[in-house]
Amino acid sequence: MMDELQKQSEGVQTDPQLVATVTAAVLQTLQTTGNLPQPENKSRQNQPEVKTIDLIGLFFAILEKFWLVLICAVVGASLMGWMAGRSITTYSATAKLYIVDTSSGSINIANLQLGTVLTLDYQEVFKTWEVHEMVIDELDLPYTYSQMQSMINVTNPEDTRILYITASYPDAKVAADIANAYAKAAKTFIINTMRGEEPSDFSIALEPSIGHAVSKSSRMIMGFMLGSVLAVGVLTLLFVLDERPRTPEHISMYGGIPTLAVLPSVKEIRSINRKAQRHRKKGGS
């Protein structure tokens, strides 16, 4: 019995066409259902390409254009130094007013608190066109209200009832005159318009001996740094936006074609020729 079964099994032959047909059907079914894994190269093509910056290439690109960075830095330093040289030295003088309510004939805590509140109100006096007009008429100044407003700065130190009236002007004497004229005009405006208590002169403005000027050296250093940073930023942007292939590997990767040969640039050919000529001259001598 066993011998007969063995003979029958040996007599059975596998049909190659049937095997191929079954295999093709199975592969098609797996692809349709999604159970068949895709080839590795196709999956990589479907993935989004992550662009990286070649820091070494960027460094050499900036180093190659270092002369441009140096020129921009020098131009920035020169421009800032020129602007600093044209700046005008200004002088600041400060007059002080003391705000306190003495209408009751004595000074107490309530009067001091009222003086603190009035100090905040009196700061707005120096923003009125009437006060500016008084100062312009007194000193005969050829300026507008907005220009006069930019010349003064009124502050009130914390926990005090004193107004600091600071005037800035290229002339030291005129700066002191403007500060004192504003103090006088403010007192007149408060009495006539606000019907308030007249502030006291705490301190008059004196002619300053030291002015404020822009440091030329610091501005030149700032311009040098800004110029170099601007040049490096522009070179970095151009490097990042440049999509041209730079190496044979890039050509093979993006173009899908092999690199048969690499030709030297014109500069490299000239450099090689110069070295060869020098070598011949040395050999001939």
175, 210, 226 from 215: Cα distances, Å: 22, 14, 17
**Same domain? 77 vs 174:** no
- Within 8 A by CB and 6+ apart from 227, the residues are 72, 73, 74, 75, 76, 77
Instruction: Confirm whether 193 is domain-assigned.
Output: yes
- Please count the structural domains in the chain: 2
Amino acid 214 reads: V
**Same domain? 163 vs 81:** no
Residue 68: both structure tokens together = 């441009």
Residue 221: both structure tokens together = 């250093």
> Taking all residues of the chain, what is their mean pLDDT, rounded to a whole number?
76
**Same domain? 179 vs 82:** no
Residue 55 has pLDDT above 50, yes or no: yes
Residue 137 is predicted with a pLDDT of: 92
Residue 226 is predicted with a pLDDT of: 94
Q: What is the pLDDT of residues 91-114, one digit of tens each?
A: 999 999 887 655 544 444 444 454
Residue 181: both structure tokens together = 């004229």
Helix or strand (DSSP H, E) at 91: strand 91-98
Domain containing 185 equals: 91-203
Residue 42: both structure tokens together = 């196709």
Report the distance separating Cα 178 and Cα 117, nearest Å. Answer: 26
Q: What is the pLDDT of residues 25-36, one digit of tens each?
A: 656 665 555 554
Report the distance separating Cα 176 and Cα 203, nearest Å. Answer: 12
Residue 119: both structure tokens together = 């100090």
Residue 22 is predicted with a pLDDT of: 56
Q: What is the pLDDT of residues 163-215, one digit of tens each?
A: 899 999 999 999 999 999 999 999 888 888 877 677 888 899 999 888 887 77
Residue 92 is predicted with a pLDDT of: 92
Residue 257 has pLDDT above 60, yes or no: yes
Instruction: Confirm whether 83 is domain-assigned.
Output: yes
Strand partners, 155: 164
Residue 40 is predicted with a pLDDT of: 47
Q: Which 3 state secondary structure label does DSSP give 164?
A: strand
**Same domain? 134 vs 181:** yes
Residue 87 is predicted with a pLDDT of: 79
**pLDDT over 70, % of the chain:** 67
